[in-house]
Amino acid sequence: MRNVNDKIMVMPLFTNPLMQIQLDLDLEKITELAFQTCYHNPKGVQQSNKGGWQSDNLVEETHEEFIRFKKVINRHLQIYHAEIFSGMEFNENITQHIDNMWVNINEKHHYNDWHVHPGSALSGVFYIKHDGSKENGEILFKRSNGTYFSLSHWPGGLIKTLNEVTAEVINIKPRQNMLLIFPAWLEHKVEMNLKDDTRISLSFNSGPINLDKKND
């Protein structure tokens, strides 16, 4: 919400906030864990991934660096929760709880198709290995009503550049140690890896739980 002056207020209705954080975790240890997980379960899981490998749920993993990583994610989930759900009223003392986490390993020509994460409130991804280039694969977010903007009256040739209000799709260029958190209902995809460099990420979902019961 932004006050233009004392009589005019601009409200960002129906927003889908994206939180971006640059972390400083030991990527060597997490990379080692990712490949070990793939070695022990080479078949993996098939979800939105086209090619590539995706692990089972790792939320109970006891690897030292992984435990540290979960604590870091949880801290930022609570910050995000407090920010985007501000103004909502709950019947209980609500906090975000990580439900599942999984590793994604994508080689050349592998990608993830458009999808959402049903059954969750928040979702996120942490980039373990990414060279920072578009060719290694960007993550794209799509607005739910994007087609309506294209049908509205904007004369051809008038627009040079769209913004986060008017764009149908927004691209985010990942880099190593980057954490993204977003609403689980926000449709997204990961572009094809066009390079010989492996792309490795760790995704997660969270949902609300009663903090009082959690601490019992």
pLDDT of residue 215: 55
Kindly state the average pLDDT of the residues 165-179: 92
Residue 93 lies in a domain: yes
Q: Is the pLDDT of residue 216 over 60?
A: no
Average pLDDT for the chain: 89
Residue 23 sits at the vertex; the CA angle it makes with 18 and 29, to the nearest 5 degrees, is 125
Total number of domains constituting the chain: 1
Judge whether 2 lies within some domain. no
Q: Is residue 5 part of a domain?
A: no
Residue 11 lies in a domain: no
User: How far, CA to CA in Å, does 143 sit from each of 56, 117, 167, 190, 197?
Assistant: 29, 15, 8, 15, 30
State the pLDDT at residue 134: 95
Q: Whole-angstrom distance between the N-terminal and C-terminal Cα of the chain?
A: 38
> Which domain does 109 fall in, by range?
16-210
**Mean per-residue pLDDT, 120-131:** 96
Q: Bridge-partner residues for 104, per DSSP?
A: 54, 201
Q: What is the CATH number of the domain that holds 54?
A: 2.60.120.620
Query: How confident is residue 165, by pLDDT bands cut at 50, 70 and 90?
Result: confident
pLDDT at 182 (0 to 100): 97
> For residue 1, is it within any domain?
no
